[in-house]
Amino acid sequence: MEDGFIILGVIQAVNLFVYRWVGKVFTSQPRFNHPKIFHNPLAQSVLCYGPMVTMAILVILAFVLTNSPWIFLGLTFAGFVAFSARPHPEFMR
Q: Could you give the number of structural domains in the chain?
A: 1
Higher pLDDT, 4 or 10: 10
**Residue 48, domain member (yes or no):** yes
**Residue 93, domain member (yes or no):** no
Q: Please tell me the predicted confidence (pLDDT) of residue 60.
A: 92
* pTM reported for the whole predicted model: 0.78
User: DSSP states of 28-40 as a string?
Assistant: TS-GGG--GGGGS
**Residue 72, domain member (yes or no):** yes
Distance (Å, whole) CA 71 – CA 37: 35
pLDDT band at 87 (very low <50, low <70, confident <90, very high): low
CB atoms within 10 A of CB 12: 22
pLDDT tens digits, 5-30 = 889 889 999 999 998 888 888 877 77
Distance (Å, whole) CA 85 – CA 88: 9
| Mean pLDDT estimate for the chain | 84
Residue span of the structural domain in which 57 resides: 3-88
**Residue 49, domain member (yes or no):** yes
Q: Is 63 within 8 Å of 8 (Cβ atoms)?
A: no
